[in-house]
Structure 1
Amino acid sequence: MNRPLAAVAGFSARTPDWVLAAAAFAVAVAVLLVCYWQTVQSLVWTWDHDGTYQYGFLIFPLSLWTVFNLRHQLQANPPVPSVWGLAGVTALVFVWYAGRLLDINLAQHFAFVALFPALVLACWGWRALWVLAFPLGYLVVFAVPWGNALVGPLQDITAHFAVRALELTGTPVLLNGREIITPSAVWMVADACSGVKFFIACTALGCLYAYLMYQRWWKRVVFVAMAAVAPVVANGLRVYFTVLIGETWGLEYATGTDHMIFGWQFFGSVLVLLLLAGWFFRDPLVAPEHPTARGGMPARARTVVWLAAVALLIAGPALAAGLAASAPPETMRLTAPAIAGWSGPQAATDGWRPTFKGAAGQVRASYHSDANGDVVELFHAIYTGKPRRGHTLITYGNDLYDSAHAQILSRASRQVELANGWSTTAGELRLAGATGSRLVWYWYCVERRCTRSPVLAKLLQAWGVLRGQVPRSSVWALSSSVVSDDADRVRTKLHAFAQALPAPGAPDMQAQRPSGLAGSQP
């Protein structure tokens, strides 16, 4: 028998294997979608409501299209399910369950998306996973909403880049955190000006373009690096040109609709130039070589692996079903403490509005210094029990300021001493908004351990839950207005106020249930 006929005969003999393997994978995916439907809804909601991740709607179709183009390489070998795939499914189901237990959306989203390559390994084997490495890796990296942590650093890079460019071209300019001060205006590099949307979308497109256009690995690495650097530089130039236009021709040409049109045109031009530059260095297409077929796995063993994968998928949501039946959220009434040397508490009247939804109790009060009349506002919120959807301290939507009316100028950390020699490290936010500039000091507490890091606070909550405890967590925040250049004096004032606050666990601030029974607060 000649080679073409042998190849056809070999493919025909292996077709039933792939039919069964494809059917098993389809069943596993259907079970995944049904059992983790709440996670699917949460993922799609994030893509739809956060403009940063709207490109996520394209990632699954692009990955499927790439898989379709690799179908011939995939079918060159019979499927050989791997027990390592079961280990991967087990680990990811545990990650998802932990994310559900602690109400961490990122963990749930990552586990759900990463289950697709784990199921490929469990249903089809290592060879299939290797052939589909790019589309599966592309799916995991870009379908999961992960870029929020980049907003602040990109804002800082953009602000410094634009200011340096203005200095080089002779425009008088000062940088105050993320405010660019010129003779005609004060320009704020807001969250929307960070360029994170263009950065992630351009990087995602660059990865796909490099995979399709290049065969050499170093060309792929270079182009992806260019796709990551170009949007950062482009965003800095966009802000620079916006300020320059405002200084040269007037603010009306640098704001409003003209500002939006210029931004989109500028980013579009940069993207076209990047793709054109990459086109001239593309590699010629090379037909892939199909490796020699290897032996498959006995039908009974394949069936066991497939059934085990489906059972593991069902186990996570089955265990999590009990979480919905947990006790209803506790309700408390917090009473603001009396602070030595400060008059109050009084009702807060300025524009500072922290938002912490689903708290068991919260209080916001204003205090006046007996010495000089300085004003400090206190915010305190308590969450009781295990973190759960709608009732968790660290979650999307809970924030220390109203992002619609204020922007962060800078971040820092400060060592804070409280009563009884107790101390912690507080985070500091310098805000600018319609009500002026202000400083906010904050820290999170889980039981008696406090930190400025929301990530560490989540880990402390997780540790308490794993130990069988019912952790109580809280947030403390102090705020005061900054006038002119008196930020250092305001920091001294906030520190003096913090020193008079009760330490965690002290009874100075009472948290009372509706029944009137007093309960200690963290």
Structure 2
Amino acid sequence: MNGLPRALAAFSLRTPGWVSAIVAFAVAVVVLLVCYWQTVQSLVWVWDHDGTYQYAVLIFPLSLWMAFNLRPQLRVRPPLPSVWGLAAVAGLVFVWYAGHLLDVNLLQHFALLALFSALVLACWGWRALWLLVFPLGYLVVFAVPWGDSLVGPLQDITAHFAVHALELTGIPVLLNGREIMTPAAVWMVADACSGVKFFNACTALGCLFAYLMYQRWWKRIAFVLLAAVAPVIANGLRVYFTILIGDTWGLKYATGTDHMIFGWQFFGTVLLLLLLGGWFFRDPLVMRECPPAYGGRPASARAVVWLVAVAVLIAGPALTAELVLPATPETIRLTAPTIAGWSGPQVAADGWQPVFEGAVGQVRASYRSASGNDVVDLFHAVYSGRPRRGKTLITYGNDLYDPAYSRVLSSGSQPVDFANGRGTTAGELRLAGVMSQRLVWYWYCVDRRCTRSQVLTELLQVWGALRGQLPQSSVWAVSSLVAGDGANQARTKLRDFVQALPAPGLVDAQLQRPPAVAGSQP
């Protein structure tokens, strides 16, 4: 019960200035949590509801525990507030503000957690930040839900690893994107099979273990690399053994509850072996002796940084409360363009349905070539104004396919040229449905600039919103079935269609002053 008073007394007796610095930091943290409470709730919601990041609930208490154990080294010298910390606070508040403008949770979550480091620098100085660099960095790297972008690459690595292992054991196998075809069945390396959950948790645990058990930097780096590589190899072996069991003893032993139990047991064994192997190479614990405390107090003028940092923290949410945006139309009437050399637009079939909620207008149509043999589907959705909740182009749930009916076999990019000579790089998805495969090319446009990158699209939206403009964002996608002649023939169809399509930026620009028509044309 008396631990905290004794700790404060130790700071006060050995090094002047720490009590006031700790109080200033505590006040700043309270202001941070109160002013950015919605972001805190959003972050905790992701930890609680997304199984990929449930381990992150432990990251904050672990970081706090590590930082608390460094207090003997901290109290050696008095705190020296830094104006660079004030600049870092202002920069991160700006990042949070941009994330709020675009309704991008990743930017808001990163800024929230990184602000703890900025406040340490502003309230305690560079030396304190350097001593606490691992706990603070650990918090930002592993508590921010950023690992979704790893799912696709990990799926590809797992699929290729399992196929090579099956080939080495003499089992006939064929890889089609992320589908593994064996004599017994067709196995799909789905999102849940990517191993991203185990990869994130194992890497986080590996970094903590290396920090606590090793003193030499080369040992720490080696173990962290091992902790990152081991789950990838382990997941490939898990998929390999699952397919091997299914082909040898029957599908009932490789699916359902047995599949889940085997996966957890396998991952648990790998983690135990990893930690046991690292334990035998641990460095002896070294007790560091703290030098005598340095006398003196921080300059009183530097204490002004505390007050300014708190004021900057409050400024971010205050600016969002005062933000007044131009009115945007609820809906617009959007029609499919006429494509030279292609008949249509016609009503599209139900085989491919992108999902983009909150668009002010969207259209899906089908076109047939002059020969009548080639059919291409077109999808176009427009978002007007600043991205906001429920009306955001790049957000969770908006996708170029319905995951309930299709899965991604492979992804890539293709250069495309439009009718007027302009061009861009389109993203490519190869989808596997219940009865057929489909090739999809897509790109995003912000005003007249088009790209396949979601990150660049969000940055263009930020730039437009910060300049006080009313940016217009859209997604374009074209699709064709992959028949027996393969994906290359489907690519030829899509390329011929896109070359006859007007430049998307020019088409979208005509919609910046939409007619006052209620409803949208599907």
Give TM-score scaled by structure 1 length: 0.92
**1:18-97 pair list within 5 angstroms:** 18-97=18-97
Do the aligned residues in 1 keep the contact of 2:352 with 2:401 (CA within 8 Å)?
Answer: yes
CA 1:422/1:9 → structure 2, altered by over 3 Å: closer, same or farther?
A: closer
Do the aligned residues in 2 keep the contact of 1:83 with 1:122 (CA within 8 Å)?
Answer: yes
Q: Deviations over 1:160-186 (max 9, x none)?
A: 111111111111111111111111211
In the other structure, the counterpart of 2:118 is 118
Q: What SS is found at the alignment partner of 1:334?
A: coil
1:447 aligns with 2:458: no
Q: Which amino acid aligns with 1:113?
A: L
In the other structure, the counterpart of 1:275 is 275
In the other structure, the counterpart of 2:260 is 260
What root-mean-square deviation, in Å, do the aligned CA atoms of Structure 1 and Structure 2 show?
2.5
Q: Which amino acid aligns with 1:515?
A: A
* Separation (CA, whole Å) in 2 of partners of 1:479 and 1:408: 14
Q: What SS is found at the alignment partner of 1:283?
A: coil
Q: Which amino acid aligns with 1:388?
A: R
Do the aligned residues in 2 keep the contact of 1:381 with 1:475 (CA within 8 Å)?
Answer: yes
1:446 deviation in Å? 1.4
CA 1:401/1:291 → structure 2, altered by over 3 Å: closer, same or farther?
A: farther
1:194 deviation in Å? 1.0
Q: Which amino acid aligns with 2:55?
A: Y
CA 1:236/1:507 → structure 2, altered by over 3 Å: closer, same or farther?
A: closer
* Separation (CA, whole Å) in 2 of partners of 1:189 and 1:324: 47
**1:63-462 pair list within 5 angstroms:** 63-298=63-298, 300-323=300-323, 327-328=327-328, 330-462=330-462
Q: Which amino acid aligns with 1:454?
A: Q
Query: Which runs of 5 or more structure 1 residues have no equivalent in the other structure?
Result: 1-7, 518-522
Q: Which amino acid aligns with 2:193?
A: C
* Separation (CA, whole Å) in 1 of partners of 2:200 and 2:507: 48
1:77 deviation in Å? 2.6
In the other structure, the counterpart of 2:471 is 471
Do the aligned residues in 1 keep the contact of 2:242 with 2:259 (CA within 8 Å)?
Answer: yes
* Separation (CA, whole Å) in 1 of partners of 2:377 and 2:15: 71
Q: Which amino acid aligns with 2:516?
A: S
CA 1:453/1:178 → structure 2, altered by over 3 Å: closer, same or farther?
A: same
Alignment size in residue pairs: 512
Q: Which amino acid aligns with 1:353?
A: Q
Do the aligned residues in 2 keep the contact of 1:47 with 1:54 (CA within 8 Å)?
Answer: yes
* Separation (CA, whole Å) in 2 of partners of 1:221 and 1:426: 38
1:406 deviation in Å? 1.7
Q: Deviations over 1:212-239 (max 9, x none)?
A: 1112221111111110110011011011
* Separation (CA, whole Å) in 2 of partners of 1:130 and 1:417: 51
* Separation (CA, whole Å) in 2 of partners of 1:514 and 1:295: 72
Q: Deviations over 1:102-151 (max 9, x none)?
A: 33222211111000011111112222222222111110111111111211
* Separation (CA, whole Å) in 1 of partners of 2:274 and 2:59: 20
Do the aligned residues in 1 keep the contact of 2:80 with 2:299 (CA within 8 Å)?
Answer: no
Q: Which amino acid aligns with 1:217?
A: W
1:388 deviation in Å? 2.6
Q: What SS is found at the alignment partner of 2:287?
A: coil
Q: Which amino acid aligns with 2:454?
A: P
Q: Deviations over 1:18-51 (max 9, x none)?
A: 2222211111001001111121122122222322
Do the aligned residues in 1 keep the contact of 2:16 with 2:297 (CA within 8 Å)?
Answer: no
CA 1:401/1:454 → structure 2, altered by over 3 Å: closer, same or farther?
A: same
CA 1:283/1:405 → structure 2, altered by over 3 Å: closer, same or farther?
A: same
CA 1:44/1:165 → structure 2, altered by over 3 Å: closer, same or farther?
A: same
CA 1:391/1:322 → structure 2, altered by over 3 Å: closer, same or farther?
A: farther
* Separation (CA, whole Å) in 2 of partners of 1:196 and 1:62: 21
1:328 deviation in Å? 4.9
Q: Deviations over 1:366-391 (max 9, x none)?
A: 23334234332211001111223322
1:188 deviation in Å? 1.1
* Separation (CA, whole Å) in 1 of partners of 2:515 and 2:32: 42
1:409 deviation in Å? 1.0
Which range moved further: 155-164 or 348-357? 348-357
* Separation (CA, whole Å) in 2 of partners of 1:364 and 1:383: 15
Q: Which amino acid aligns with 1:98?
A: A
Q: Deviations over 1:62-96 (max 9, x none)?
A: 11111222222222332222222112111111221
* Separation (CA, whole Å) in 2 of partners of 1:68 and 1:223: 24
1:515 aligns with 2:499: no
Give TM-score scaled by structure 2 length: 0.92
* Separation (CA, whole Å) in 2 of partners of 1:119 and 1:79: 12
Q: What SS is found at the alignment partner of 2:357?
A: coil
Identity value in percent: 75
Do the aligned residues in 2 keep the contact of 1:79 with 1:296 (CA within 8 Å)?
Answer: no
CA 1:130/1:369 → structure 2, altered by over 3 Å: closer, same or farther?
A: same
Do the aligned residues in 1 keep the contact of 2:381 with 2:476 (CA within 8 Å)?
Answer: yes
Q: Which amino acid aligns with 1:67?
A: A
Do the aligned residues in 2 keep the contact of 1:80 with 1:296 (CA within 8 Å)?
Answer: no
Q: Which amino acid aligns with 1:382?
A: V
Do the aligned residues in 2 keep the contact of 1:335 with 1:510 (CA within 8 Å)?
Answer: no
* Separation (CA, whole Å) in 2 of partners of 1:391 and 1:149: 22
In the other structure, the counterpart of 1:520 is none
Q: What SS is found at the alignment partner of 2:211?
A: helix
CA 1:197/1:500 → structure 2, altered by over 3 Å: closer, same or farther?
A: same
1:442 deviation in Å? 0.6
* Separation (CA, whole Å) in 1 of partners of 2:156 and 2:280: 34
* Separation (CA, whole Å) in 2 of partners of 1:71 and 1:11: 9
Which range moved further: 342-351 or 47-56? 342-351
CA 1:27/1:12 → structure 2, altered by over 3 Å: closer, same or farther?
A: closer
Q: Which amino acid aligns with 1:43?
A: L
Q: What SS is found at the alignment partner of 2:411?
A: strand
CA 1:324/1:469 → structure 2, altered by over 3 Å: closer, same or farther?
A: closer
* Separation (CA, whole Å) in 1 of partners of 2:275 and 2:451: 45
In the other structure, the counterpart of 1:4 is none
1:450 deviation in Å? 1.2
* Separation (CA, whole Å) in 2 of partners of 1:269 and 1:329: 57
